[in-house]
Amino acid sequence: MDKRPGYHRIKDRGITAIVTGEQGEKTLTRFGLEEYVADCVITLDNRMVNQISTRRIRVVKYRGSKHGTDEYPFLISEVGITVLPITSLSLTHIASTDRVSTGIGRLDTMLSGKGFYRGSSVLITGEAGTGKSSLITAFIDAACQRKERCLYFAFEESQSQIIRNMRSIGYDLQKGVDDDLLRFHAIRPTAFGLEMHLAPISSPSVTRFRSAQ
C-alpha cells in the first residue's frame, strides 16, 4: 500500500488537481498550508477603487516556469474570463514609415508635409472650446474618404450629439456610419474601471472591425 502523501500519488498518475481556498487574515489560504504544497498558486482579489469594483489576478508562484508576478485586472462576463495584462505590454512592435493625412493641409505641412505616422499614438490636448473634437473629426473624415475604418471612443457626448455638432462645421460623420467605416463607443469614464474600458478596445469584434478590408 502506497503510504506517501496524496499529492505524490496524484503527480505519479499525471493528474492536474485544482484546489480553491479562501484567503486567511495573514496568509494566502485559511490554513496557510496549501500554497506550500501546490506547484502553482493564483490569487484572486476583488477591491473597491473610487467606488468601482475591480477584480485582480496574480500568479504568486509557478514551480519550474517563468511567469509574470504582477497583479493584472480581469473581467468576468457573458463571454467568460478576460485577463488584461496591462503591465506586460512590450515595446517590440515594428514602427511604420507610412504617413496618414490629418485631413488638414496646413497641419500636414507642419508634420513633414505628410501627416502622422501610421500606427502612432497622438495626444491632442487643450482647454474646452479650443477645437480638439473638430481636429479629430477632420482626421476621421479624411480616413473615411480613404475608405479606411475608424473607431471613435467618446466619454463625454453621445454618438448622435457628436454627429449633430460636427455637421455644423461641415463634416457628415453619419455617412461614415452608414458605410460601416465609422463606429462609436460612447460611455462615461466614471462608469467603469480602466479594465472595463480597455476590454471593448481589445475585444475580438473590435479587432475584426479594425482589420476588415
Task: Dump pLDDT digits (tens) for 28-74.
Answer: 777 776 777 788 888 898 888 777 778 888 888 888 888 888 888 88
Asked if 42 and 56 count as a contact pair (C-beta separation under 8 A), the reply is no
pLDDT of residue 135: 93
Q: What is the pLDDT of residues 139-194, one digit of tens each?
A: 999 999 999 999 898 888 999 999 999 999 999 999 999 999 999 988 887 776 66
Asked whether residue 190 is domain-assigned, the answer is yes
Total structural domains within the chain? 2
Asked whether residue 136 is domain-assigned, the answer is no
Model confidence at 2, pLDDT cuts 50, 70, 90, reads low
Q: Which range marks the domain in which residue 199 is found?
A: 145-211
**In terms of pLDDT, which residue wins out, 205 or 47?**
47
Asked whether residue 149 is domain-assigned, the answer is yes
Single-letter amino acid, residue 44: L
Average pLDDT over residues 128-137: 92
Q: What is the pLDDT of residues 54-66, one digit of tens each?
A: 888 888 888 888 8
Asked whether residue 27 is domain-assigned, the answer is yes
Helix orientation angle between 132-145 and 159-167, rounded to the nearest 10 degrees: 90
How deeply is 196 buried, as exposed, middle or buried, from its count of CB atoms within 10 A (0-12, 13-18, 19+)? middle
Query: The domain spanning residue 37 has which CATH number?
Result: 3.40.50.300
